[in-house]
Chains A and B, each alone.
Chain A
């Protein structure tokens, strides 16, 4: 009996195959492996039936608290968004999910056309010339954008705003250890005056706290200094805000997870990267292009491949090989189903709820909104108590109260970063307002009692 439940071979098959090879056992094929290291005892647990695996994984899943279990205001690059039923039903079909990279275009048009559509949809949304077929996720996409700017300009200094997502800044610093780039962090308001001699300025709009940023002014300063402007953005925000391509961005990066991809505790996600036509030769990753077949039929192929590692090796624009193709297809299906009105509606609901909620929370004594200007669908809630204390108190009430700004290294920021989306309900908002009110009031009573 087979110990691997997915093994197809009968004992007779194995005998026949060994006979055809001319050996008596698989061990006869392992001569190159040092004999003292061969067949070590792994000490793994015994295998499980499918039913046992399902039950075991379900028991682990039950020890997690999913977002729907209580009021939920965490967000940032990863957002709880409504996923239309048809998204997983289509994108996770085995024909897409179990295909490899489309190296044989004649029999891979499903993947290739879907990716071409993804590139086209994101180009429209971002108003950028070229979108690649995907990067791993937002943070590494930011780092790759910086490396791209370094290649284009020949400069090794990169300036990033302190209100760019902290994971993105940390990842950028990690990547910079390789080519030994100088990474400088400045507040967003100082970006424009920091452009001299840099490869790029990296700005996020809306920023990590949800604040809207005048990107055009920063882009102009970058361009005047011969630097590139890299804008970090979010797909839903681009439905309502003037898109990066119209703000002067040369490279645009972002997290595509909100486009129908589950939060899944950090991945897999979808790294978005886009650029202007003139920079496409420095773009990392695969790109799909349109062409014809021998009969004149339209078809799609991976193109501009000489940029990539399998051809240029150490001179490639990046080492990326595996990407997030299925996530790009998910994003395409999502956008196709939502359409421009659906996408705008989802974005508007987040904006409307964030503003309504901010107003109510700011009315709690001692609380306020800490954004430097207008915000989009998340905001910085300042409280009279320590941010960690408030966060813990909300947690005790079963409320995920948002990100803790100080914990995440947003220089000079203290408070909770509260995210709203179309999933945020009135009941959740009521619960947060009530819990914050009682936490603050409770703390005051304690102070008074002393």
Chain B
């Protein structure tokens, strides 16, 4: 791979210099000092000879640098974020504050159970809440994110089938064509082959195609419900029955659980397990890409295979980490006990909502999505025109014929002051625009967003080419991703 010579990086004008460009030798912050002579304790052959070219900056410089960067970043705290499939709802501040309590933030994962009873109690209570919401029986809180939970579940499926003597023959995982890319990738990481099944005209899995794909070599089906079109699988029980009939298992991708809270439990529909993206469903902040947490909730028959350890509540009300209930555990999928700080936030959110708040969350998410769809119907093509759940997919195919693609509409939304919807996903809808307003945007914001999309539709009709210039009001214009990929510059390099 070719990397450009150093120096090239600094030639372009920039919104904000890099830390390295702000630095001057001799300015180190010195938040910690002492033990200047400790190097002598390290044998000479191990000592660092390579210069340590970290930038030297004062604290005020660092503060201003990151304040400037924060000003050129869109976030839920600054505006509506209708990214389909991502559930960018409001992230309550109290959740951040409780996660930072010293009793949570300053405990080490290797401390004895006796010294972390509050943490174990919280995790155990969270597991009970998740069991109730999903209709499953057992939970592992270990997975770090949704994709990590998918991989964990595939390992659990593999162990389950092996325990029944047909581990060697079951090699194929069925994935609908509307699925997130993580589904086939997780199955492949587990050594399985992936068979893709198409969707029918109503946006459901094509049941006939599914049945044709099923056989004794099938590990299971990975099912997102509501699917990535925002549609509830109309024959979900028949789908699960068909998979079970060949001895397969049904994995629920819980990416869209925000539509189901209190309205239906996946465990009542025939699914064998489901993961929860707590950074979606339970309001924990996305952090510009992470962290998340991906608890995996399973039916009783899969409990023995869950990652270890789990948490046990003793008769005296104390808690301990234990693997007693999972004798055939697949092992651990990461160090320690999951994204605890994220799980604390999710727990706080679930307790805030309680029974009634939980169901109202999904009702409002569904209401908002259907309302936006109703306002946009006629000006944009609805990919599947039936009641949606918490999100819906438009096709900008008609707009593309007029000269403005989904990408152009997305960029035009930036100039209207909104973060764009997801575009070009799911793959089965041409020029897809996937919109998830979430339950925390007030009606006036929903209206403003609909108005913006309608104005853009007008612009497409009158002067589609003008959208190619968008965005004009953002910190940057469109970026050259082709050059970035052809000639990757993946780090700052010293000009000297």
Contacts and interface: CB of A to CB of B under 8 A. Distances in A.
Q: Do A and B come from one complex?
A: yes
Identify the 4 closest CB pairs spanning chains A and B, nearest first.
A61-B103, A110-B73, A47-B354, A266-B336
Contacts of B233: 32
A240 B327 CA distance: 44
**For this complex, into which size category does the number of interface residues on chain A fall?**
35 or more
Contact of A376 (B30, B42, B69): B42
Interface string A341-373: 111111011011101000000000000000000
Contacts of B110: 74, 76, 78, 403
A425 B110 CA distance: 20
Interface in A109-155: 109-111, 113-117, 119-121, 123-125, 127, 129-131, 133-134, 136-140, 147
A29 interface: yes
B43 to A, nearest CB: 5
B150 A319 contact: yes
B416 to A, nearest CB: 12
Contacts of A297: 12-15, 476-477
Interface string B9-21: 1001111101110
Interface in B64-89: 65-67, 69-78, 81, 83, 86, 88-89
Contact of A6 (B29, B50, B331, B440): B440
Contacts of A34: 236-237, 264, 269
B108 interface: yes
A374 B151 CA distance: 40
A140 B96 contact: no
A177 B333 contact: no
B194 A123 contact: no
Contact of A296 (B13, B30, B129): B13
A319 B189 contact: yes
Interface in A301-322: 301, 303-305, 308-316, 318-322
Nearest to A123: B491
Interface stretch (A49-57, A191-199, A436-444): A49-57
Contacts of A305: 485
B34 interface: yes
Contacts of A258: none
A266 B337 contact: yes
Interface in B275-308: 277, 279, 283, 285-294, 307
B356 A242 contact: no
Given A100-B288, A400-B108, A348 B38 contact: yes
Contacts of B212: none
A325 B490 CA distance: 16
Contacts of A40: 135, 262, 264-265, 268
Contact of B42 (A13, A281, A351): A351
A32 B47 contact: no
A42 B358 contact: yes
B201 interface: no
B254 interface: no
17 contacts: A21-B374, A29-B370, A39-B263, A95-B70, A98-B77, A107-B475, A109-B16, A170-B332, A265-B341, A268-B293, A291-B479, A297-B15, A298-B13, A323-B291, A327-B290, A332-B19, A335-B54
A44 B262 CA distance: 10
B32 A44 contact: no
A266 B335 CA distance: 7
A427 interface: no
A73 to B, nearest CB: 10
Interface string B337-353: 11111101001101111
Given A3-B360, A33-B232, A174 B488 contact: no
Contacts of A295: 476-477
A412 interface: no
**For this complex, into which size category does the number of interface residues on chain B fall?**
35 or more
A337 B115 contact: no
B102 A45 contact: no
B182 interface: yes
Contact of B484 (A125, A301, A316): A301
A380 interface: no
A106 B414 contact: yes
Given A3-B357, A280-B1, A106 B88 contact: no
Nearest to A14: B367
A3 to B, nearest CB: 4
A399 B354 CA distance: 39
Q: Max chain B CB contacts within 10 Å: which of A60, A297, A333, A374?
A: A60
B152 to A, nearest CB: 9
Contact of A17 (B19, B108, B367): B367
Contacts of B360: 2-4, 7
A226 B89 CA distance: 49
A104 B54 contact: no
A255 to B, nearest CB: 8
B439 A7 contact: yes
Contact of A262 (B16, B47, B189, B341): B341
B111 A348 contact: no
B335 A171 contact: yes
Contacts of B480: 291-294
A93 B290 CA distance: 15
A406 interface: no
Contacts of B119: 60, 64, 265
A186 B70 CA distance: 48
A32 B225 CA distance: 11
A38 to B, nearest CB: 6
A187 interface: no
B62 A268 contact: no
A39 B359 CA distance: 8
Contacts of A355: 38, 41
A98 B263 contact: no
B32 A338 contact: yes
B336 A78 contact: yes
A102 B484 CA distance: 15
B5 interface: no
Given A23-B370, A338-B32, 11 more contacts: A21-B371, A100-B81, A107-B73, A110-B73, A241-B46, A294-B480, A325-B287, A326-B285, A326-B287, A337-B57, A345-B32
B148 to A, nearest CB: 6
A267 B109 CA distance: 9
A389 interface: no
Given A54-B98, A267-B340, A403-B110, A168 B335 contact: yes
Given A240-B42, A294-B477, A341-B30, A246 B50 contact: yes
